[in-house]
Structures are given as structure tokens and as C-alpha cells.
Chains A and B, each alone.
Chain A
Amino acid sequence: MSAEGIALPRELRLLGLRRSTWPRILAPLLMGLLALGAWEFAVRHFEVPAYILPGPVAIGQTLAENWASLLGSLAVTLRITLLALLLAVVTGVALAMLFSASRWVEMTFLPYAVMLQVTPVVSIAPLIIIWVDNVQAALLVCAWIVAFFPIVSNTTIGLNSTDRNLLDLYRLLGASRWQTLFQLRLPAALPFFLAGLRISGGLSLIGAIVAEFVAGTGGNSSGLAYRILEAGYQLQIPRMFAALALISLSGVAIFLVLSLLSHVLLRRWHESALGGER
């Protein structure tokens, strides 16, 4: 018995990260730096005017100069994004629980959830903006529509794919409906939910930006999409790129944070979180 060891072999660590993790960070980073360098070189060498294609240095300068106003816009967009994601999580998980509780509910409502998902948000955003008085609320609804489907569908699959033997075991042990839901089916669905959440995180940002574009809201409470529109009208292409860079970076940051969350929650038990080991 003692021959069957339980300790996992420890890999060498560098600055707290596994050594095999470093190439995964460094390789894309190096690639990005090379691409930026080539871009800057090309812009200078061919003397491309900044109103057609600014170089990374010019964009960086613009970003620094307009930092305060861009950061304000970023905060507005991120607020909508995160609220929409939160709303998507709450409604998505609730709907998934309803779906898995009753085949009838699923059969009745799933087609409409799919319909909402496949209809491009750009095409319904104008309607929503007309119907919903409050612009912020309209943006929230648009972002929510895009974000909630992956959570519903993934969580439903997760809830329905609980190990049948474990379900039998709970039944044998006389578990109540609630015990089975909260102690077995929901935890078993967690990896599926988290996979959906990672997709939804990016989608809710896209939804928020698209809705902002359609709404074209002005004033001091306007988001990054408005900055892009505004810069476009004024032919201030470097500022357009600066706003674009902020959007991309936010998207990447959201993805990284959700991946980290997923890793932390599943670290001890799920295959997907055990990437480097064994």
C-alpha cells in the first residue's frame, strides 16, 4: 500500500511559475514585439502618413496624451461589460437549472434562446435602444443578449451530463432533490459553466462595443466605441488606434482573468486545469 505514492512530482519553478509555463508567455510576447517593430519600421521606411496608418510609437504617444479621457471611456465600457456578464451568469445559470429540471421547459424555450443568439446584435440594437429609455440599460441589454447564450448552453450540458452512477448513488443514499442539485449536479457542471463563462466574457465586451456604436452616445459618460467614432470623424487616426488597443487589451485581460479563475477553481480535480502536469 505504501508503495503507491500520492505525492505528485514537483517541477522546477522560476519566479513562482512552472518552467514549462514561461515559453507560453514569452513566445507570443516576443512575436508581438517583433511585429510591432516591423510595423514601426515599415511606417517610417515608407513614410506612411499618420492619418492612414500611425506607427506603434505614435499610437503610444497618443494613448499617453489622452490617457485621462480614454481611461474614463474604458471605465464606462468595462462597467457595461461586467454588468452584462454578471447578468448573463445569473440568468444563464438560472435558465440552465430550469432547462435541466424539465425537458418540457427546455423543448419550449431553447429554440428562442438559440434565435436570440443567432440574430446579429447589430440588427436588434437599434430597436432595443428605441424601446429602452435609459441608454445605459439599452447597452446592458444588448451586451447581455450576446453574452448569456454560451452560459445557458454550457451549463445545461454540464447539468445533464452528471455521472449516472453518482446520481444512482445519491438516490440510493436517499439524497433530497436539493442535495442532489447543490452537492452533485451543480459542482459537476462547474467546468462546463467556466468554459462558457470564458467565451461570454469576450462576447459581452463585443456586445457592449457594438451597442455603443449603434447608440453613438455623446457626453461625458460615453464609452470607447464613441471615442473611435469621434476620432474617425475628426480623422484622428492615432486616437482611433489608441482606443482600439485599449479594447483589445481589455478583451485579453478579461480572458486571462476568467482563465485564472477557472484554473484556481478546477486546479485540484479537472483534466482541463492540469495542463502542465504528468
Chain B
Amino acid sequence: MSAAHDQGAPGPPLLALRGVSKRYANGTVAVAGVDLGIEAGGFVSLLGPSGCGKSTLLRMIAGLDPPTAGGIAWRGGARPSLGFVFQDPTLMPWRSALDNVALPLRLAHVPKAERHRRAREMLSLVGLADAAGSYPRELSGGMRMRVSIARALVTEPEVLLLDEPFAALDEITRFRLNNDLLRLWGLRRFTAVFVTHSVFESVYLSERVVVMAARPGRLHADIRLDASSHRDEAFRTSPAYAALCRSVSGALEGAMAA
């Protein structure tokens, strides 16, 4: 637990889940009785084996699916602005990278010149200034995911939800995008909730790892990581990183056995 966390006022968390459960129409209990508070500005990973209800939980947080029991409360009552990044880039193949990024602004009736300016700015922030006119088909997997992240951030949301966004990418690209995401988080200071099944990724990115157990999906461990160390490629090979990975990995094994 870093000092930075202790300094924060102990006020209500940005997001509070109370006994949140989800039973699908076919009887599957995907999530059962999750209690979780998430502070503003943090980077939280939801870690668990596939099928443990991570996506279901994230979708409920986004308001895409209602919980069947329990409640989700945002500080101040209203849902803040959200960005959502899916596992697939989920781009419209008939639109250029620029138009894909500008989509949230277009749906909000932002004038064309303004939305193009902001989409361009966002594209250069993810290192794709030159690809504005390219279509998704013409981009690599990593570039498509960058476009997808740019689209999620173009409205400058307070909260960014990501559902295993890098799972389908090769390791080199994934490492690069990890660093890009951290850089963007440092720049914009949104609250990040990052779903992953990778121990290494969760430890590299987050200040806090919430480990989930499966059948039914529930919380197993809530691990606060020391956020003071600088996250960069050197960190990946440091003993501190290895130690953190070992402890989170142990918690995950416990969750699998539970």
C-alpha cells in the first residue's frame, strides 16, 4: 500500500458494488454477491480465469446489463462519462480510423470540424497521426486496438473500462500497448478498470488487483500493489515485479482451488 493512497480523503468511493449478482436467463449464475469499491483515479485490474464472470461484471458496471440482485452506485448518483474497450477492436470497417475515433462525438452531434480536430488529436496521442485516413482493414491488429482506445478516450471520460483488450495481440505489441495505456492514464488520469486473465499484465499495469474465482463468479482476493515504482520496461525484469507476480499468482491459484 503506497503512501499516495493513504493521503486520499476516505470519502465514498467513485463506484460501489453491493452484493451484485447476475443470473442469466438460462440459469447460469455468472456473478454472485460481489462487493467492491473503486476509488477515483485508480487503475484496478479484475483478474481471473476465463469464464469467471469478468466480462459480465464489467458490462454491469457499464450499464449494458442490469444485475439480477444487488446494486451499483456511483458517487454523486449519476453515472459518470464512460469509455469502453472491447476485446476485439470493434471498429466500423466502412469508416476511416479518423471517423471511427470521432464516432462518440458524432453521435453527440458535435460539429464536424470540431470532432475531426479532437479525433486527430486523440489519434496522434496513440501514435497514429498518419493513419487517420486508413480503413481498419488496412491496419495491423495493434493499430486497430490503438484506434479503439482512442475512440474510448476521445470524449475524455472519467472512467475507462477495458475487457481483455490486448488478449489477442502478440507479446511485443501487447507490451507496447501496455506502456501506451499507462502513458495515457498518466496524462488523463481517468479511473481504469482493466479486465485480464494475465497475472503479468495485471501486475504491470495496476495499483490494485482484484482476483476473481469461478462458478459462481465472486471476489477471492483484493491485492493492493506498491504503485510507487515506475512502470517501464526495466520494471518488467526487476525483482520487485517478480515478487508481486508471485504473490498475485498465488492468490489466483487459491481462487482456482476455491
Contacts and interface: CB of A to CB of B under 8 A. Distances in A.
Nearest 6 Cβ contacts at the A-B interface:
A269-B93, A165-B90, A1-B127, A268-B135, A165-B86, A175-B107
A179 interface: yes
B174 to A, nearest CB: 14
Contact of B103 (A163, A171, A173): A173
B90 A187 contact: no
Q: Is the interface on chain A under 10, 10 to 19, 20 to 34, or 35 or more residues?
A: 20 to 34
Contact of B140 (A4, A168, A171, A175): A4
A183 to B, nearest CB: 8
Contacts of A184: 92
A174 B106 CA distance: 11
A269 B140 contact: no
Contacts of B59: 168
Interface in A163-214: 163, 165-166, 168-175, 179, 183-184, 187-188, 190
A269 B137 contact: yes
Given A1-B127, A4-B140, A172 B62 contact: yes
Contacts of A173: 103-104, 107-108
14 contacts: A6-B138, A6-B139, A163-B90, A165-B88, A172-B64, A172-B82, A173-B104, A173-B107, A174-B107, A183-B107, A187-B92, A190-B94, A268-B94, A274-B137
Interface in A224-278: 268-270, 274
A188 B94 CA distance: 8
Nearest to B104: A173
B136 interface: yes
Contacts of B139: 6
Interface in B105-146: 106-108, 127-128, 130-131, 134-140, 142-143
Interface of B: 59, 62-64, 82, 84, 86, 88, 90, 92-94, 103-104, 106-108, 127-128, 130-131, 134-140, 142-143, 176
A169, A268, A269 pick with most chain B CB within 10 angstroms: A169
Contacts of B62: 172
Interface of A: 1, 4, 6, 8, 163, 165-166, 168-175, 179, 183-184, 187-188, 190, 268-270, 274
Contacts of A171: 64
A187 B107 CA distance: 16
Contacts of B86: 165, 169
B92 A268 contact: no
A170 B107 contact: yes
A199 to B, nearest CB: 22
A172 B84 contact: yes
A166 B92 contact: yes
B93 A270 contact: yes
Given A6-B131, A172-B82, A187 B88 contact: no
B90 to A, nearest CB: 4
B144 to A, nearest CB: 11
Contacts of B140: 4
Contact of B90 (A1, A166, A183, A269): A166
B11 to A, nearest CB: 27
